[in-house]
Structure 1
Amino acid sequence: MRKRSIPGTALTPSVICLGSSHFGDTISRELAFELMDRFVDWGGTFLDTAKVYCDWVPGERSRSEKIIGEWLSARGSRSEVVLATKGAHPELESMQISRLSRADIQSDVEQSLRNLQTDYIDLYWLHRDDPERPVEDVIETMNELVREGKIRYFGCSNWRSQRIEAAQQAAVRMGLQGFVASQTKWSLASYPPASDPTLVSMDAKELAYHRETGLTAIPYNAQASGFFSGRYRSEMLQEPTAANQKVWKMCSEDNLRKLRAVEALSEELDLSMTQVALGYLLSQPFPVFPISGCKTVAQLDDSCAAGDVVLDRAALAALEGSAAR
């Protein structure tokens, strides 16, 4: 699998990032270990987690981070992995109450370090934004953590471009490190409006910002919940059924046209549909590292094979133009 540098950092991770939001939930500790081992076999080096992952399940908290920490300790592979985690997420029972204060961020970083059994985090994400919080305070807090050696670099997750740009300008004025990447919901698919207002999807405005600035994107839901996995063919999605219930909300005219374009390119290029959809993200004019939340080894193999896919202009035009015919 290819590796690529994240501009403004010394990090050169694999272009496919292994997501872990279900480690400790629908993915057992044993399967999580198997997936991470297989990922490394593919040349994968980029792991993404979050302090809050699996906290929606009763019982032990931060299970995803803890499983990864156990795996890193058992394999002795910490130095070979680019480790990313997220903090400053509101408590799940009170999502309207922000946790972006200096104390919240510092507390979450300390807890993540313990969970992950490491003394540093390569890339630390601020999981949610608080538009009322001055960006100068955030930048100062993150740089303090960098100076302490607890994190190497930091990015933002679910932040809108105007807030990102304000933070970047503040970092320049203050002579400090700024965001090195942004993590938003993004795939080839177009998404219906989110019920959670704190989530940010890659729309035309956000995409234009990345193209103009070159800011690295590390998208979650990069496979559109399996919409382009090959499990669903366009002829199966003409009306809601028990078999397509999971993705029916994605079945807009726009997305069905994109699905047909992926089907055609899959046959033409001898790639799986997953590889075409991930290849679309990997072929953007700025660095993109899609997060793949695999639940089986077969899904992992399919996603990792996309790490060597680069689509040409004609293929990208076919995918991007599919919604405009």
Structure 2
Amino acid sequence: MRNRNIPGTELTPSVICLGTSNFGETVSKETSFELMDRFLDRGGNFLDTAKVYSDWLPGELSRSEKLIGQWLKSRNNRNRIVLATKGAHPELETMHIPRLSREEIIYDVEQSLRHLQTDFIDLYWLHRDDPQRPVEDIIDTMNALVQQGKIRYFGCSNWKAVRIEAANHYAASRGVQGFAASQTKWSLASYSPGNDPTTVTMDENELTYHEGTGLPAIPYNSQASGFFSGRYKSEMLLKPSPENEKVWKLCNDKNLRMLKCVESIAQQLELTMTQISLGYLLAHPFPVFPISGCKNISQLEDSCAAGDVLLDHQVFAELKSIH
């Protein structure tokens, strides 16, 4: 699998990032370890997690981070991994109340370091924004953590371009680090407005910002909950059923047209639908590192193979014309 530098940093992660939100939830410890081992064997080195992952379940908190910490310790391979985690997420019971104060950010970083059993985090994401909080305070807090050696670089997750621009403008004026990358919801799918107003989806305005600035994107939900993974054929999505319940909300005319297009291109190029859908993201003119939340080895192999796919201009244009 290819690696690519995140501009302005010393990080050169694999172009496919292994998402771990299901670790400790629907993916057991044993399978989690097996997935990370195989990912490393296939040339992957970019892991993405979050302090809040699994906290929607009763019982132990931060299971994903803790499992990764146990794996890093047991394999003694921390120096081979580009480790990314997220913090400053609102409490799940009060999503309308931001948690982006200096004290909350520092507390979450300390907790994640402990869970991950590491002295530093390569790329730390602020999981949500608080538009009422000045970007100057946030950038100053993050740079203090960099200076302390607790994080190397930082990015933002679910931040709008206007806020990213303000933050990076301030950072440049002070000669300090700004956001190295942005993490948004992005795939070949067109999404209806969701129930969570704190999330940000890659729309035309956000995409224009990335194209104009070259800011790297690390998309989550990059296969639209499996909609473009090959699991669902267009004939399976004509009416709601137990088999398509997870993706039925995506079954509008535009997404079904896109699905048929991906099916056709995959057949023509003798690639899988996963490789086409992730290859589309990778083909953009700025650095993109799609997050793939694999649950088994077969899914992992398919996603890793996408890291070597180079779609030509004609195929990219065809997909983009629908998207």
Shorter-normalised TM range: over 0.9
> Per-residue deviation at 1:6?
0.3
**1:66 aligned residue:** 66
Letter in 2 for 1:29: K
Which residue is equivalent to 1:253? 253
Residue 237 of structure 1, CA deviation: 1.4
Superposed, 1:221-236 pairs within 5 Å as 221-236=221-236
Could you say what secondary structure the match of 1:284 adopts? Answer: coil
Equivalent position of 1:263 in the other structure: 263
Cα deviation for residue 321 of structure 1 reads 1.9
| Residue of structure 2 equivalent to 1:319 | 319
Post-superposition CA distance 1:188-235 (Å, at most 9, x none): 111111110001000111011100100000000001100011111112
What is the letter of the counterpart of residue 113 of structure 1? L
In structure 2, how many angstroms separate the alpha carbons of the residues matched to 1:243 and 1:59?
A: 29
Cα shift at 1:266: 0.2
> Residue in 2 aligned with 1:78?
78
What amino acid sits opposite 2:146 in the alignment? V
Find the residue that maps to 2:56 and give its secondary structure. coil
- Report matched runs for 1:117-156 at 5 Å: 117-156=117-156
Q: SS of the residue aligned with 1:230?
A: coil
AA aligned to 1:78 is R
Matched residue, 1:201: 201
Q: Partner of 1:224: helix, strand, or coil?
A: coil
Partner in structure 1 of residue 96 of structure 2: 96
> Residues of 1 paired with 2:110 and 2:273: CA distance?
40
Structure 2 equivalent of residue 168 of structure 1: 168
Q: Which amino acid aligns with 1:98?
A: P
Amino acid at match of 1:290: P
Q: Which runs of 5+ in 1 are unaligned?
A: none
1:175 deviates by 1.6
Q: For 2:22, give the aligned amino acid.
A: H
Give yes or no for the alignment of 1:13 onto 2:17.
no
Distance 2:246 2:68 in 1: 28
Alpha-carbon displacement from aligned partner over 1:5-37 (angstroms, at most 9, x marks no partner): 000100001000000001111111111000000
CA–CA distance in structure 2, aligned partners of residues 70 and 123 of structure 1: 19
Give the CA deviation at 1:322: 3.1
Distance 1:297 1:210 in 2: 32
The CA distance in 2 between the partners of 1:229 and 1:304, in whole Å, is: 13
| Pairing 1:53–2:50 present | no
Residue type of the alignment partner of 2:121: I
| 2:85 aligned counterpart, secondary structure | strand
Match of 1:3 in 2: 3
Instruction: Write out per-residue CA displacement over residues 22-54 of structure 1, whole angstroms, 9 at most, x where no aligned residue.
Output: 111111111100000010110100000000000
**CA distance in structure 2 between the aligned counterparts of 1:23 and 1:230, rounded to whole angstroms:** 22
- Greater displacement, 266-275 / 236-245: 236-245
Distance 2:272 2:175 in 1: 46
Q: How much has 1:242 moved relative to structure 2? A: 2.1
Aligned residues: 323
Shift of 1:174: 1.6
**Distance (whole Å) between structure 1 residues aligned to residue 320 and residue 243 of structure 2:** 28
Q: Quick one: which amino acid aligns to residue 6 of structure 1?
A: I
Q: Which residue of 1 aligns with 2:29?
A: 29
The unaligned stretches of length 5 or more in structure 2 are none
CA distance in 1, matches of 2:215, 2:64: 27
Q: Which residue of 1 aligns with 2:217?
A: 217
Q: Does 1:42 align with 2:21?
A: no
Q: Deviations over 1:97-136 (max 9, x none)?
A: 1110000000000010000000000000000000000000
Give the AA of the match of 2:292.
Answer: S
| SS, match of residue 216 in structure 1 | coil
